[in-house]
Amino acid sequence: MQTIAAVFAYTLKEHIRHKAWLSSALFGLVLLGGALVVSALGQDERARLMLDLGLAAIEAISLVSIVFLTVNLILQEIESRAIYLILTHPVRRADYLLGRYLGTVAAIALGMTGMALMHLALLSLYGGIEPARYLAALGCMLGKTAVMGALALLLSLALTSEAAAMSFAVFFWMLGHFSAEMRFLADRSGSAFLKTALVAFSHAAPDFAHFNYRDFWHQAAPGGDWLAWAAVYALAYTAACLALSVQLFEQKEF
């Protein structure tokens, strides 16, 4: 546990110092500013536009950041051979991987919190919103980001290529939002093979479509029990990806 905490703190500090992360935050600011400008064109729906576009900007920045950071998290250390130095110390590979991952997610969460605070300040100019719902939407976005981070880490270890891992991560992101469509296609498919393949794919990919609180904000709000199951889903899916990553990492010869 101490090792995880030490690696976590080191990773968090590293990301805070990292210029890529800072430029992402700046880009997020630009996107939030863009949302403010675009929402001005929305007439009666300005508050809605400000809410939707701001949340979308926060999520887009978080997604790009988490995929970029986690894909490079271990691969860069393997390339620069820094991993040899770390693993000569009494550090379990699982602890090291978990600490690195948690530190990265914490850095992204910090960035999201900063952007959310700026967004809330802008929203307060247009009458504000329900804080509990905003927190739920932000929680779901963090859940999606955590799942994507774990998936990107797994892909980077499995494919050992940054470009391939990033491409597959984006593919899974799309597939995750396509899960309802895949089940719809499976229902209408005449071929048993295609039906099974579609259902298997829809379950294997993270179910982001049902997790997209930000997108169905204006529809009837789900209850607290839904949020609890969504949290269990995100944690279990993330943990499954991390367990697979540890399995792959432990099998690697350095």
Partner 1 sequence: MNYRWLAAAAALFVLALFAGSRMRRLHEPRFPPLSELKTGPFAFSDAALAVAGFRAPAADLAWIDLLRYTAGSLPGYTDSPGKAYEHLGVLSLRVTRLDPSFHRAVLFAAGILAWFHGVERPDEAAELLHEGMRRSPEQPLYSLYLAALAYKRQGDSNRMIALLESSFDLPETPATMKAILANLRQSRGEYREALILWIRILENDRDRSEHGRAKTKIVELRGLISRGAPAKR
Residues that bind partner 1 (CB under 8 A): 38, 41-45, 48-49, 52-53, 56, 59, 94, 127, 173-174, 176-178, 180-181, 184, 203, 207-212, 214-220, 222-223, 225-226, 229-230, 232-233, 236-237, 239-241, 243-244, 246-247, 250-251
Q: State in angstroms the smallest separation of the CB of 204 from partner 1.
A: 9
For the bound state, the minimum distance from the C-beta of residue 159 to partner 1, rounded and expressed in Å, comes to: 17
Residues 141/55, Cβ–Cβ less than 8 Å = yes
Shortest reach from residue 19's CB to partner 1, in Å: 27
- Cβ contacts of 249-252, under 8 Å, gap ≥ 24: 249/74, 249/93, 249/94, 249/97, 249/157, 250/93, 250/94, 252/157
The C-alpha atoms of residue 233 and residue 210 are separated, in whole angstroms, by 11
Between 134 and 208, CB nearer to partner 1: 208
Q: Cβ closer to partner 1: 16 or 248?
A: 248
Least distance between partner 1 and beta carbon 16 (Å)? 28
Q: Which is nearer to partner 1, 118 or 240 (CB)?
A: 240
CB 100 within 8 A of CB 11: yes
CA distance 14 to 16: 6
20 vs 239 by CB, closer to partner 1: 239
Tell me which H or E stretch contains 210.
none
Choice between 17 and 44, CB closer to partner 1 = 44
If the CB atoms of residues 16 and 122 are measured against partner 1, the closer one turns out to be: 122
Contacts for 82 with CB less than 8 Å, ≥ 6 apart: none
Q: What single-letter DSSP state applies at residue 205?
A: S
Q: Write down the least CB distance from residue 46 to partner 1, Å.
A: 8
Query: Alpha-carbon distance 106 to 203, whole Å?
Result: 27
- 237 CB burial (10 A radius; 0-12, 13-18, 19+): buried
| Minimal distance, residue 209 CB to partner 1, in Å | 7
